[in-house]
């Protein structure tokens, strides 16, 4: 075969055809030692390297990438372990609370102390007769007030994270010297909507819509089941003014 004929045949081949052939025949270079030695590839250093060297380089890059991903996964697992322990400790204390104020105080102390956030808020929905009964992290409002301020944030059952509107942040965390800038909110819903649980940070970007909320939902699911009977016990056995306190 003349050089001209070989050149004409090679000219009919495309890069895609060669790549496809090599993918279909991964053992092509098994008996092509001389060809392997003659093949060279450009390198970042500027010098040409052999195909084998290039493969070794790629394997090392892949190894480093996998090692980095493994380190990240281990870090996430440890972080989740710490969150789980904090959540478990909080819920054990919440279960042992004897009244609404104890529960709200426990949540507030844990969220600000254990979790390192700036604020917590438990807002219960009740009729007009008990509206305004608020102490510490506990706030009692009418369903109409909640709907007016929070609107479609009450429609779902999952956590909603973000900066929210200013009037919404003030409604969730009233009477603060340092305003809350970002919020994670979960409706407290068990058969029906009984309130909302919210945590806040003074950092504008701390909570965003992409943040995971597994443990926040875990806490709110428990609160949703504990609060209704506690509220009923207060409203049936105690005067309206004593909703947040109970004789010990």
Whether residues 173 and 238 share a domain: the answer is yes
Ramachandran area for residue 133 (φ above 0: left; ψ -120 to 50: alpha; else beta): beta
* 1-10, 181-190, 228-237, range with the lowest pLDDT: 1-10
Beta strands in 160-226 (DSSP E): 160-162, 182-190, 192-201
C-beta of residue 216 within 8 angstroms of C-beta of residue 186: yes
pLDDT of 67 reads: 92
Whether residues 66 and 127 share a domain: the answer is no
What confidence tens digit (pLDDT) does each residue in 192-228 have?
888 899 999 998 888 877 676 778 888 888 888 888 7
Q: What CATH number does the domain containing 198 carry?
A: 3.30.450.40
Q: How far apart are CA 60 and CA 68, in angstroms?
A: 12
pLDDT of 76 reads: 82
What confidence tens digit (pLDDT) does each residue in 32-82 have?
767 766 776 666 655 655 666 767 777 888 899 999 999 999 988 888 888
- Give me the DSSP letters along 115-146: S--SEEEEEEE--GGGTT--BTTEEEE-HHHH
* Domain termination site, one of 71, 96, 121: 96
pLDDT of 48 reads: 56
C-beta of residue 131 within 8 angstroms of C-beta of residue 124: no
pTM above 0.85, yes or no: no
Whether residues 121 and 48 share a domain: the answer is no
Whether residues 143 and 234 share a domain: the answer is yes
C-beta of residue 48 within 8 angstroms of C-beta of residue 40: yes
């Amino acid at each position: 075969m003349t050089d001209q004929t070989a050149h004409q045949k090679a000219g009919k081949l495309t890069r895609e055809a060669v790549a496809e052939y090599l993918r279909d025949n991964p053992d092509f270079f098994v008996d092509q030692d001389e060809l392997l030695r003659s093949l060279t590839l450009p390198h970042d250093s500027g010098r040409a390297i052999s195909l084998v060297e290039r493969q070794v380089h790629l394997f090392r890059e892949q190894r480093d990438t996998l090692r980095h991903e493994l380190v990240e996964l281990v870090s996430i697992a440890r972080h989740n372990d710490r969150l789980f322990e904090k959540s478990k400790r909080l819920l054990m204390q919440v279960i042992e609370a004897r009244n609404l104020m104890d529960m709200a105080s426990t949540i507030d102390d844990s969220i600000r102390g254990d979790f390192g956030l700036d604020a917590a808020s438990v807002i219960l929905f009740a009729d007009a007769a008990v509206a305004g009964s608020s102490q510490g992290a506990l706030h009692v409002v009418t369903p109409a007030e909640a709907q007016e301020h929070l609107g479609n944030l009450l429609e779902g059952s999952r956590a909603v994270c973000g900066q929210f509107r200013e009037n919404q942040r003030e409604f969730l965390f009233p009477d603060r010297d340092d305003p809350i800038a970002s919020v994670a909110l979960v409706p407290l819903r068990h058969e029906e909507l009984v309130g909302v649980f919210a945590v806040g940070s003074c950092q504008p970007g701390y909570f965003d819509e992409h943040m995971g909320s597994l443990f926040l939902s875990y806490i709110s699911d428990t609160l949703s089941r504990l609060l209704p009977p506690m509220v009923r016990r207060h409203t049936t056995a105690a005067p309206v003014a004593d909703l947040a306190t109970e004789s010990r």
